Amino acid sequence: MSLLSIRNLTKRFGGLTAVNKVSFDVGEGAIVGLIGPNGAGKTTVFNLITGNYQADEGDILFSGTSIKGLRTNKIVSLGVARTFQTIRLFQKLSVLENVLAGRHCRMKAGLVAGMLKTPFEKKEEREALAFCQEELAFVGLKGQESMVAGSLSYGNQRLLEIARALATGPRLLILDEPAGGMNEQETEALVGLIGRIKERGLTILLIEHDMSLVMRACEHLVVLEYGCKIAEGTPEIVKNDPKVIEAYLGAD
């Protein structure tokens, strides 16, 4: 059974249909790429999945149950984590505090436990700190825990967003242009990181403009144009699809 199932998803902004009856599946443990020209509606699809926008029609099934209409934080706690196209870190907070934000939904201590520092709260904090440091080491930001997030390089900010998303303990990780603003070496490292995330048993859905990354990292591609799905399949099939070539290069 597929982990994520998009069914006839439609979203309109006034007269513009940004996403038009899009359906696709993301299998458990797969790396799926969502590609298409600028303005094709890729990020809108992501925003619909994560509850930032509400769909007008269609349904979104995660692990067999509908998550359509749920609030973002609820969807995160069910196991869907994302990164943003325009980096949305807590710029003035430290790197570690940023990752701890992701861990929040897996922790329980509330107001009173926080004030009284109960043994449970202390243990939970210790474990969360250790866990978040491990995630930082995993994405390659070890030793930068105390730095202010805004002072990191662009590429490292992208990695920090991935660490924060991983800290939520997701089953599905949604990456919106993870290589945006990265240089070649950083992109190379990112491909490795995506592979290691897959090895952990996570499913990945990503938007990316860097075609070499998409072709290397993804096993399955979904192509959007003007809000509609125009092609789907392995990178080889999609690359040679006349409709896709037309969408990217324009018809004669």
Partner 1 sequence: MINEKNKLCAFAAFSLILATAPLYLNSYWVDVLNSVGLYAILALSLNIILGDAGLYNMGHAAFFAVGAYTAAYLNTQFGLPILWALPVSGIVAGLAGLLVARPVVHLRGDYLLIVTVGVGEILRIALINDVFGLTGGPNGIFGIDRPVLFGFKIRKPQEFFYLIWGFVAVTIFLFYRLKNSRFGRALDYLREDMTAAEGSGIDTGRYQLYAFMVGAAWAGMAGTLYASKMSIISPESFSFWESVVIFIIVILGGSGNIAGVLLGTFLIIGLPELFRGFANARMWFFGLAMMIMMIFRTEGILPHRPRVFKSLDRQRP
Residue ranges that bind partner 1, judged by CB under 8 A: 50, 52, 71-73, 76-77, 81-82, 84, 88-94, 96-97, 100-102, 104-105, 107, 109-111, 113-117, 121, 124-126, 128-130, 133, 145-146, 148, 164-165, 168
Q: What is the smallest separation between the CB atom of 251 and partner 1, expressed in angstroms? A: 38
Instruction: Compute the least distance from the CB of residue 101 to partner 1, in Å.
Output: 4
Q: How far is the CB of 120 from partner 1 (least distance, A)?
A: 11
Tokens of 245: 């070539």
C-beta separation of 229 from 222 below 8 A: yes
Phi first, then psi: what are they for 92, rounded to 5°? -90, -5
Residue type (1 letter), 10: T
Instruction: Closer to partner 1 by CB, 142 or 243: give it.
Output: 142
Q: Closest distance between partner 1 and the C-beta of residue 108, in Å?
A: 8
Q: How far is the CB of 166 from partner 1 (least distance, A)?
A: 11
The residue type of 100 is L
Shortest distance in whole angstroms from residue 105 CB to partner 1: 3
Helices and strands, number each (H, E), in the chain? 10, 10
Q: Roughly what angle, to the nearest 10 degrees, separates helices 119-139 and 154-167?
A: 140
For partner 1, which is the closer residue by CB, 81 or 179?
81
* For partner 1, the closer CB: 78 or 193: 78
Residue with Cβ nearer partner 1 (24 or 84): 84
CB of residue 8 to partner 1, shortest distance in Å: 25
Nearer to partner 1, 17 or 144 (CB): 144
Given the structure tokens 């006034």, which residue do they identify? 14
Handedness of CA 193, 30, 174, 223 (dihedral sign): positive
Query: What CA–CA distances, in Å, run from 214 to 22, 120, 146, 218?
Result: 20, 44, 33, 6
Report how far residue 104's alpha carbon sits from residue 7's, in angstroms, rounded to the nearest whole number. 31
Q: Specify whether the CB–CB gap between 104 and 131 falls below 8 A.
A: no
How many CA atoms does the CB half-sphere of 4 hold within 13 Å?
A: 30
Complex with partner 1: residue 25 or 124, whichever CB lies closer:
124
Nearer of residues 80 and 223 to partner 1, judged by Cβ? 80
Distance of CA 204 to CAs 16, 17, 133, 211, 215, Å? Answer: 29, 26, 22, 17, 14
Residue 27 contacts residue 205 (beta carbons within 8 Å): no
